[in-house]
Amino acid sequence: MRVYLAVYALGLHRYSTYRAATIAGIFTNAVFGAINAAVMLALFSVRPEINGYDAGDAVTQVFIGQALIGMVAIMGPPLELGERVRSGAVATDMLRPVSMMGWWLADDMGRATFNLVFRGVPTFTVGLVLFDLVVPSEPGRWAIALVSFVLAALVSFALRYLYELAGFWLMDSTGIWAVAGLLGPVAAGMLIPLPLFPPAVADVLRVLPWASIAQIPAEVFLGKESLPGGSPLGGLALQAAWAAALLALGARVTSHATRKVVVQGG
């Protein structure tokens, strides 16, 4: 654990050095959030309620999504693992006396922590200033929402790790990232809240792993009854199940992938 904590701290420190990029990210997320929120307000001015969502819910989810987008990195940047597989540098990673997946998880959690605190919180604060967002009145719901955000980061890491493990077979995971970066945010409810989809489509998307990255955390934050079991705890259970399943799959695929690695020289 001491090694993983050190890697976590290094990941946190590494991303804290990109101050200009962080400020640019806050500005971009705030502007995109404001534009998307304006679209939602226009939509709900015509139809005040859609599948259990009103204007306040939709605008709040927009800014939750923008606050989480840097933390979950659903649109990138990719982990460095894919490039290391392509170049053969992953052979060095395999020599470390710790789990390769554990190493990358610790590093990514450091990145996620920095982005949540120093990019996500300011972005959501802009939303609070500009719009009438729906925020929990009970401290306990804030704590549950934070747990949901952590689980979202774990699910996101597991998916991105699996994308890049494909490089062991394909030699380049760029194509997978191109597709995932396009479809993932839609399936997650990051761009459009899933309740705005036809109910049958929304119900299917809500139980897929991508929804645990944005839609489920938003519904936990809002306390929606559309969550599994009709409560925030049901949403946390779904996220935890996907995190456990995907991390277990990642560990299994890593075991198979490292038997196939080929680097320059044999």
Instruction: For residue range 48-70, list pLDDT tens digits in order.
Output: 999 989 999 999 999 999 999 99
Q: What pLDDT shows up at residue 262?
A: 53
Residues in the chain where the model's pLDDT stays below 70: 260-266
DSSP 141-201: HHHHHHHHHHHHHHHHHHHHHHHHHTHHHHS--HHHHHHHHHHHHHHHTSSS-GGGS-HHH
CB 156 within 8 Å of CB 74? yes
**Residue 227, SS3 per DSSP:** coil
**Residue 86, SS3 per DSSP:** helix
Contacts of 153 (CB under 8 A, 6+ apart): 71, 72, 108, 109, 112, 116
Question: For the whole model, what pTM was predicted?
Answer: 0.92
1 vs 224: CA distance, rounded Å:
37
266 vs 262: CA distance, rounded Å:
6
Phi and psi at 78, nearest 5°, equal: -65, 165
3-state helix, strand, coil in the chain (%, to 5): 75, 0, 25
In this structure, the chain runs to a length of: 266
- How far, CA to CA in Å, does 38 sit from each of 129, 150, 261? 14, 29, 49
14 vs 77: CA distance, rounded Å:
15
> Residue for token digits 């654990």?
1
pLDDT digits (tens, 9 = 90+) for 200-226: 999 999 999 999 999 999 999 998 887
218: nearest Cα among 232, 201, 202? 232
103: nearest Cα among 260, 258, 262, 263? 258
Single-letter amino acid code for the residue at 53: Y
Q: What pLDDT shows up at residue 264?
A: 42
Q: Is the peptide bond before 77 cis (omega within 30 degrees of 0)?
A: yes
Q: What pLDDT shows up at residue 266?
A: 42
pLDDT digits (tens, 9 = 90+) for 18-36: 888 899 999 999 999 999 9
Q: What pLDDT shows up at residue 265?
A: 41
Q: What pLDDT shows up at residue 260?
A: 60
116 vs 153: CA distance, rounded Å:
10
Burial (CB count within 10 angstroms: exposed 0-12, middle 13-18, buried 19+), residue 138: exposed
- Exposure b/e, 201-219, CB count within 10 A at least 16 = b: ebeebbeebbbbbbbbbbb
Q: What pLDDT shows up at residue 86?
A: 78
